[in-house]
Amino acid sequence: MIRDVNIQDAKQIVDIYNYYVLNSIVTLDLVPFSTQDFEEKIKTISNQFPFIVYEENNVLLGYAYANTFRTKPAYNNTVELTIYLKYDELGKQIGKKMYSELLDQLKKQNYHVVIGGLTLPNDASIKLHENLGFEKVAHFKEVGYKFNKWHDVGFWQLTF
């Protein structure tokens, strides 16, 4: 089931996210987050943008949200998207279902451009974005440093 996030989801969301903080380059965050950090994030983001979760048998398998792309007012119709799935739930089309729902909500709210930023390499996320019509528009080389290695970041864009 896809539904809107609520504050009680913070613990499960932080568990999903912190796995990637500690074990992968999917996020370039270096320090795990607390449940309180995600409670604040949920409050802040969900007041302005869609923030959804995928729940099955009372367990969150993933979450996705839109957020500010840049703070200057001229960017108000552009958002950046985030999606994370439980590491052991990949490959089950959950990401596609969540992103499709998120994109539908953003279209209804008259956003014009959505951006996905990806640490590279990330074949699964590239495939997800491109299958939904996103096009690669930027590639920044060696801009993030994690696990004693430099990482590239790419940006994919979808215009409604």
Which CATH number fits the domain that encloses residue 13?
3.40.630.30
Distance CA(113)–CA(104), nearest Å, equals 13
The length of the chain, given as a count of residues: 160
CB 150 within 8 A of CB 144: yes
Q: Work out the pLDDT band at 77, boundaries 50, 70, 90.
A: very high
Give the total number of structural domains in the chain.
1
Q: Which domain holds residue 79?
A: 2-159
**Residue range 9-54, pLDDT digits in tens:** 999 999 999 999 999 999 999 999 999 999 999 999 999 999 999 9
With a cut of 90, say whether residue 91 has pLDDT above it: no
Distance CA(143)–CA(68), nearest Å, equals 21
Q: What average pLDDT does the structure give for the chain?
A: 97
Q: In angstroms, how far is the first alpha carbon of the chain from the final one? A: 26
For the CA atoms of the chain, what is the radius of gyration? 15
Read off the pTM. 0.95
